[in-house]
């Protein structure tokens, strides 16, 4: 059967999930090693979140402005398209995996369209191999492969703050995705807050696109980098990036305030301003330092990243807590997980940025295509990037005292509208001490997003003041038997039971 048909089964040597930096690299490496590769990606065109760009139907040759590592993308993309033309990569865009299975033949991925098919697209033909991006979402289908490389990436980690459920409050990465995907901004006057170097490109991108950044509020302090300078020196390109951002900040007069947080979003039916405060090293508000920014359209928050762990967890891969408190998959030097034949690359092995993701993807793809040891030069570059990432995690921690910022009626679970007091009451009177029992007793994490947004915060709240979520709690929160919503009709028409 042809790809894209509802209920079709695609067979490949290697399946890759994700077409961002890690996924593109894995697909290219596996194809160039001679494997037949199937790439399943939720996006409508290659690039993932990091290299998200405007639809190629509208802007056929993006120039890469506002992107980092664009040359790396152009190189990978050319090899990706060439492999598609050779018939070695089957590209399945617009699909989400709702269930992965391990079986005797290897792995089976059950997929569903990320976006409902338009009626007019029902008769549309498939994208001819190598012509560029896919033409909209394919139908649901099944991919069967001997080996699997999961590169699902991550998304901004969030901490609840009073008023963060108001329209106009976005994930920092959401603002960037909006800009990269639409070429425009979602508002005019921005405040960007949270922690970590990612806040810098977000703010710089806003300013370069004509938005006004009233402030970047970073909860940590530059001094936190001092113990990690050796690790930072190992990745000189990061210093260059930093210098670029400094120049943009200076040109646009963007105030960069360290040891500062947003304590409340102001506004009735949409964000109109923020209250801010200075904090100490633990994140406790320093009395008398409160301030206000009025006339704010959009507030962007990012507290590091949360790797998308449901697929590795569903397949039973061993996991660990990383230096940033995130649950990540354990891999060997070939990026192979504890499940034979299952490889992980990119943020799901530890948040480390796109350069590291590419190296990991190349290693994973080559290893999945044939039993091959990791390239020594790649391994040493990966090590330097991982040291840098670890230094970054230590320099930009989630503030220990963040739970003290909450008011009793602060929304924690946005989907089910569960408040902080409902959660602490369930913890204190009903014994909900992990994310799983908390979910049972309060519905936090039971809604549309299945705890993707509130899972980390809820796990911390269940554990208690100044305690971070345990690996068990995060692993329970990442147990999502359906990796994506799937219609009952699609389930009813499942063809096989493998």
To the nearest whole angstrom, how small is the minimum distance from the Cβ of residue 180 to other proteins?
Answer: 10
Q: What part of residues 342-371 is at the interface with other proteins (CB under 8 A)?
A: none
Residue 413 as a binder of other proteins (CB under 8 A): the answer is no
Instruction: With contacts defined by CB under 8 A, name the span among 78-86, 377-385, 396-404, 409-417 that binds other proteins.
Output: 409-417
DSSP reduced 3-state for 156 = strand
Nearest to 279 by CA among 161, 392, 174, 170: 161
CB-wise, 273 or 365, nearer to other proteins? 273
To the nearest whole angstrom, how small is the minimum distance from the Cβ of residue 250 to other proteins?
Answer: 23
- 67, 77, 393, 436: which one contacts other proteins (CB under 8 A)? 436
Q: What part of residues 65-104 is at the interface with other proteins (CB under 8 A)?
A: 99, 101
CA distances from 162 to 269, 376, 420 (A): 14, 49, 10
- 66, 183, 234, 291: which one contacts other proteins (CB under 8 A)? 183
Q: Residue 190 CB: number of other CB atoms within 10 A?
A: 28
To the nearest whole angstrom, how small is the minimum distance from the Cβ of residue 415 to other proteins?
Answer: 7
CB-wise, 162 or 365, nearer to other proteins? 162
Dist. CA 118–CA 394, nearest whole Å: 46
Q: What part of residues 27-46 is at the interface with other proteins (CB under 8 A)?
A: 42, 44
Tokens of 27: 């697909």
Q: What angle do CA 149, 150, 153 make, to 5 degrees?
A: 140
To the nearest whole angstrom, how small is the minimum distance from the Cβ of residue 449 to other proteins?
Answer: 5
Dist. CA 83–CA 12, nearest whole Å: 14
Spatial contact of 88 and 31, defined as CB atoms under 8 Å apart: yes
Q: What part of residues 251-290 is at the interface with other proteins (CB under 8 A)?
A: 269-270
With contacts defined by CB under 8 A, how many residues of the chain interact with other proteins? 86
Indicate if the alpha-carbon torsion angle 172, 175, 181, 183 is positive or negative.
negative
Q: What part of residues 232-251 is at the interface with other proteins (CB under 8 A)?
A: none
Q: What part of residues 289-318 is at the interface with other proteins (CB under 8 A)?
A: 297, 308
Q: Residue 10 CB: number of other CB atoms within 10 A?
A: 22
Indicate if the alpha-carbon torsion angle 349, 350, 354, 358 is positive or negative.
negative
Residue 5 as a binder of other proteins (CB under 8 A): the answer is no
Instruction: With contacts defined by CB under 8 A, name the span among 77-85, 351-359, 393-401, 435-443 that binds other proteins.
Output: 435-443
Residue 429 as a binder of other proteins (CB under 8 A): the answer is yes
Instruction: With contacts defined by CB under 8 A, name the span among 274-282, 343-351, 395-403, 481-489 that binds other proteins.
Output: 481-489
Q: What part of residues 191-230 is at the interface with other proteins (CB under 8 A)?
A: 210
To the nearest whole angstrom, how small is the minimum distance from the Cβ of residue 242 to other proteins?
Answer: 25
CB-wise, 54 or 228, nearer to other proteins? 54
DSSP reduced 3-state for 488 = helix
CA distances from 171 to 304, 344, 380 (A): 11, 25, 33
Q: DSSP string spanning 25-58?
A: HHHHHHHHTT--EEEE-SSSSTTTTTT--S-TTT
Residue 118 as a binder of other proteins (CB under 8 A): the answer is yes
Q: DSSP string spanning 369-394?
A: HS--PPPHHHHHHHHHHHHHHHHHHH
Residue 385 as a binder of other proteins (CB under 8 A): the answer is no
- 246, 431, 464, 465: which one contacts other proteins (CB under 8 A)? 431
Dist. CA 400–CA 466, nearest whole Å: 5
Residue 448 as a binder of other proteins (CB under 8 A): the answer is yes
- 5, 7, 55, 74: which one contacts other proteins (CB under 8 A)? 55
Nearest to 3 by CA among 91, 115, 111: 91
Nearest to 34 by CA among 86, 105, 108, 109: 86
Q: Residue 23 CB: number of other CB atoms within 10 A?
A: 32
Nearest to 29 by CA among 85, 89, 74: 89
End-to-end CA distance of the chain: 18
Spatial contact of 418 and 160, defined as CB atoms under 8 Å apart: no
CB-wise, 383 or 437, nearer to other proteins? 437
Residue 110 as a binder of other proteins (CB under 8 A): the answer is yes
Q: What part of residues 123-182 is at the interface with other proteins (CB under 8 A)?
A: 136, 155-156, 165-171, 173-178, 181-182
Instruction: With contacts defined by CB under 8 A, name the span among 200-208, 336-344, 381-389, 430-438 that binds other proteins.
Output: 430-438
To the nearest whole angstrom, how small is the minimum distance from the Cβ of residue 442 to other proteins?
Answer: 10
CB-wise, 104 or 497, nearer to other proteins? 497
């Amino acid at each position: 059967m042809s790809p894209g048909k509802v209920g079709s089964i695609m067979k490949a040597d290697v399946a890759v999930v994700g077409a961002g930096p890690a996924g593109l690299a894995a697909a290219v490496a596996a194809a160039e090693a001679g494997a037949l590769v199937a790439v399943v990606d939720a996006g409508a065109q290659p690039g993932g979140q990091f290299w998200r760009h405007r639809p190629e139907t509208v802007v056929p040759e993006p120039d890469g402005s506002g992107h980092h590592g664009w040359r790396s993308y152009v190189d990978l993309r050319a090899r990706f398209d060439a492999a598609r033309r050779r018939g070695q990569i089957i590209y399945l865009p617009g699909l989400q995996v709702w269930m992965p299975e391990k079986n005797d033949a290897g792995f089976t991925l059950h997929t569903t369209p990320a976006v409902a098919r338009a009626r007019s697209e029902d008769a549309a033909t498939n994208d001819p191999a190598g012509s560029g991006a896919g033409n909209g979402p394919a139908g649901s289908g099944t991919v069967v492969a001997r080996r699997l490389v999961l590169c699902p990436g991550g998304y901004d980690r969030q901490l609840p703050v009073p008023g963060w459920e108001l329209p106009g409050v976005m994930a920092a990465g959401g603002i960037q995705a909006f800009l990269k995907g639409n070429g425009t901004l979602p508002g005019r006057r921005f405040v960007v807050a949270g922690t970590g170097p990612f806040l810098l490109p977000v703010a710089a991108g806003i300013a370069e696109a004509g938005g006004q950044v009233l402030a970047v509020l970073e909860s940590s302090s530059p001094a936190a980098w001092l113990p990690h300078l050796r690790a930072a020196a190992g990745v000189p390109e990061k210093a260059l990036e930093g210098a670029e951002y400094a120049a943009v900040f200076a040109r646009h007069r963007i105030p960069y305030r360290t040891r500062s947080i947003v304590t409340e979003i102001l506004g009735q039916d949409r964000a109109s301003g923020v209250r801010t405060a200075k904090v100490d090293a633990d994140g406790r508000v320093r009395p008398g330092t409160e301030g206000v920014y009025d006339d704010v359209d959009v507030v962007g928050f990012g507290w590091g990243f949360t790797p998308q762990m449901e697929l590795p967890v569903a397949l039973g891969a061993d996991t660990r807590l990383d230096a940033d408190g995130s649950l990540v998959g354990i891999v060997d030097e070939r990026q192979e997980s504890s499940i034979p034949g299952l490889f992980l690359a990119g943020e799901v092995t530890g948040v480390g940025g796109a350069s590291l993701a590419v190296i990991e993807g190349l290693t994973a793809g080559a290893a999945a295509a044939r039993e091959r040891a990791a390239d020594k030069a790649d391994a040493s570059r990966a090590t330097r990037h991982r040291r840098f990432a670890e230094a970054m995690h230590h320099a930009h921690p989630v503030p220990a005292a963040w739970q003290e910022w909450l008011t009793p009626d602060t929304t924690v679970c946005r989907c089910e509208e569960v408040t902080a007091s409902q959660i602490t009451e369930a913890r204190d009177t009903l014994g909900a001490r992990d994310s799983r029992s908390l979910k049972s007793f309060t519905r936090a994490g039971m809604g549309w997003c299945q705890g993707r947004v509130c899972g980390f915060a809820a796990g911390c709240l269940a554990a208690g003041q100044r305690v971070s979520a345990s690996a068990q709690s995060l692993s329970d929160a990442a147990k999502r038997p359906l990796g994506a919503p799937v219609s009952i009709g699609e389930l009813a028409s499942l063809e096989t039971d493998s």
